[in-house]
Amino acid sequence: MQLPLRLPPDQLRRRCDPLEFSFETTAELDGRREAVGQKRALDAIAFAMAIRHDGFNLFALGPSGTGKQTALMHHLESVAPEAPVPDDWCHVYNFEKPRHPKAMRLPPGRAMELSLGMDHLVEALFTVIPAAFSSEEYQAQEKAIHEEFQEEQAEAIGALEKKAADESIALIRTPAGFAFAPVSKGEVIKPDEFMKLSDGERKEIEEKIGRFKDELQSIMSQIPKWQRQTQEKINALNRSIADFALRPLVEELKNRFETLQEVRAYLDAVENDIVLNFYQFLEKSQEPGDSVKKSHAFNRYRVNVAVDNGKTIGAPVVYEDKPACRNLVGDIEHLSQMGTLVTDFTLIKAGALHRANGGYLILDARRLLMEPFAWEALKKALRTRQIRIESLGQLYSLISTVSLEPEPIPLELKVILLGERRLYYLLNAYDPDFSELFKVAADFEDELEADTEGKNSYARIIARVARDQGLRHFSREAVARTVEYGGRLAGEGGKLTARLQEISDLVHEADFHAESAGRATVGAEEVEQAVQARIARASRISEKIREATLKESILIDTETEKVGQINGLAVYEAGRERFGHPTRITARIRLGKGEVIDIERETELGGPIHSKGVMILTGFLGARFGMQQPLSLSASLVFEQSYGGVEGDSASSAELYALLSSLSGLPLRQSIAVTGSVNQHGELQAIGGVNEKVEGFFDLCRARGLTGRQGVLIPKANTLNLMLRPDVVEAAARGEFSIYAASHVDEAIELLTGVAAGEPDAEGNWPPESVNGRIVAQLGSMAERLKAFSQNNETPE
């Protein structure tokens, strides 16, 4: 078995050669907006935007900062302006059903024109209608109608009066009505004279009076009818006058909207309503409260423009930053009047769906889901393909007042949700509507290929950020350093991170350092400074732990050799930064029944993956050493001084080395820290966070003094992920620190013990001096001891 490879310095860090770039500084680049290395996602976007069927809305998923919005906007900027401009929409009063305001569609820009036209109409009517009604013609006609009534009445009564006078009976007006009385010489007969008359004469008079009384009563009964007729005539006159005054104004509006049948029908309704309610325009407001009441009355002739596309170029692209329900589907607002809430159609407020209708609506999925009722409201709109404005307050009976039900507006748009992958998968799993409504997913990559194109795209992004934000441009060396940083963030060989927000932030930070240094261009040093500053800012916890280790509060041996003890490597996450630190792992054995006790699991400090790793290594032990004899041991494994819990299987190889050392009695080099998971065949498998782990051990060793014997053993499969800090690489180059790569446990144990692992012969026997040979011998001896112990303690039958 060969020894693990000591990796040469050039494999420890993938350098980006500044000479790969053809430019001197990023100022030479156009810095166009683009989505780099996201072909899959871009194809999905192009498809979703082009297909015109229902439900082909888009969910752009990927980690934040991967340029989802940039990619979308880039695509929409090229597509949207070519699309037709959608129509305008407005709400108008419904004269037949006032509680159901009408929604009216008009060609782009015409809604505002109609709104202004109606405002002017109302304004003009305040002049025109009072003028028409104060004209002499009107006054004369009105007077004539009144006089006609008077005449009619006077004629009827006059005729009766005359008839009565012929028979010496006068019709007299009393304080409350009328009465007939016998007269003589123009005066009512005095009562005593009347009594002097003969019975016959009196009876005759009474009979006459009774007759005239009946006649007068029959005339009186006609009066209400005459009054009604007069009022009807007056009304008809008023209407004709109002209509005459109004018609030219309305006609002018109608002519402007000649081709729009719906608008013409609306204007007809307006005309009828104004003719019926012309008197509103005659009243002069005197009391202070009147203006409110008045404006309320005239609101009905206003046009509430919901969507004005007059200045829109192509299809609208709307990004709603706060996708609350009322901001999406609109709302019906209320006014407080004398302590009560009132509303009318002019208080209908359009939402983002209205504005984006006929175009594209971009929403952040997380924000959308966090807004109460918003997700359901959006789905309902998409499913029914119409926007129905409902006030939440009314829907849930929070406000009890007169409500409106505006006519729904047909909806045709593309909704684009931006969100994390987890949200997409959760929605897919739990919301049956989701897959119906969002049929296309644009899955954004986390990484880019670290090829020439990828590196150049970094340069273009830097150029764009510098240009857009007015920052210094980067030299090619600075770009190269940024690319290296991107590679480190990707954490995977041959890749660069696609979380471009991180890169953009780094550009800002490097620019800050360049400014402090008085540089015109950002150089590699400033980028390095920015990177180091980032690390330093997040280093409080790592330094505390290192300090505790140096003071030996945390026991980490980096010098000697010990049996059953090894330095594993753990990665800690603190906010955005991650760092590594060694952890002592120990193994002790005793006689037992072949089980490995994971103390972490027993104390419930170990996670399931960690437990799995321990069981795997138990499997490896059993398979290798338990075929010839039973494993008569109990082993216990522990992460010393670990109190916060352990998860992951990256320490399973370290645990195995500690166990093998314990079994073989061979001490392990404490100067080499190990990482890597192991399978049941003893092969080492890749783990995450390799760079942080190596650097964590390096930092501790450097603090204690590099001896040249110190190093880290990593799985060979992780070699590609190495992107170590320059100081680590330099130490390795000077031979002060080593990074070894092994692919099998046997290779590693040889490095750690200095003793060959050994290879079994044809019978499966291990060389006695090898590590495995010693283990077999030890296990044999333990089995014997156990057997002897068992026999000695057997109870005779």
Beta carbon of residue 112, minimum distance to other proteins (angstroms, whole number):
48
Give the DSSP letter string of 492-546.
STTEEE--HHHHHHHHHHHHHHHHHHT-SSB-HHHHHHHHHHHHHHT-HHHHHHH
SS (H, E, C) 589-633: EEECCCEEEEHHHHCCCECHHHHHHHHHHHHHHHHHHCCCCCCCE
Beta carbon of residue 147, minimum distance to other proteins (angstroms, whole number):
9
Closest CB to other proteins among residues 203, 787: 203
Residue 548 corresponds to which tokens in the numbers above?
A: 């505790």
Residues within the interface to other proteins (CB under 8 A): 150, 153-154, 157-158, 161, 170-179, 181-182, 186-191, 194, 202, 205-206, 209, 213, 216-217, 220-221, 223-224
Beta carbon of residue 156, minimum distance to other proteins (angstroms, whole number):
9
Any catalytic annotation for residue 516? no
Of 334, 439, 333, 326, the closest CA to residue 373 belongs to 326
Closest CB to other proteins among residues 138, 740: 138
Closest CB to other proteins among residues 155, 321: 155
Which residues face 633 on adjacent strands?
591
Q: How far apart are CA 431 and CA 347, in angstroms?
A: 34
Please tell me whether residue 702 adopts helix, strand or coil conformation: helix
Selected catalytic residue, list 650, 662, 664, 743: 650
Q: How far apart are CA 280 and CA 262, in angstroms?
A: 26
- DSSP code of residue 85: P
Closest CB to other proteins among residues 176, 398: 176
Beta carbon of residue 230, minimum distance to other proteins (angstroms, whole number):
14
Closest CB to other proteins among residues 56, 178: 178
Closest CB to other proteins among residues 133, 266: 133
Q: How far apart are CA 143 and CA 126, in angstroms?
A: 23
Angle between helices 771-792 and 608-625 (to 10 degrees): 90
Give the DSSP letter string of 377-391.
HHHHHHHHTEE----
Beta carbon of residue 108, minimum distance to other proteins (angstroms, whole number):
57
Beta carbon of residue 144, minimum distance to other proteins (angstroms, whole number):
13
Q: How far apart are CA 781 and CA 789, in angstroms?
A: 12
Selected catalytic residue, list 693, 716, 738, 770: 693
Beta carbon of residue 223, minimum distance to other proteins (angstroms, whole number):
6
In this structure, are residues 466 and 30 in contact, taking their beta carbons and an 8 Å threshold? no
Any catalytic annotation for residue 233? no
Closest CB to other proteins among residues 206, 543: 206
Query: What is the number of H-type helices and E-type strands within the chain?
Result: 28, 31
Which residues face 202 on adjacent strands?
none
Q: How many CB atoms lie under 10 A from the CB of residue 733?
A: 13
In this structure, are residues 713 and 651 in contact, taking their beta carbons and an 8 Å threshold? no
- Which residues belong to the active site? 650, 693
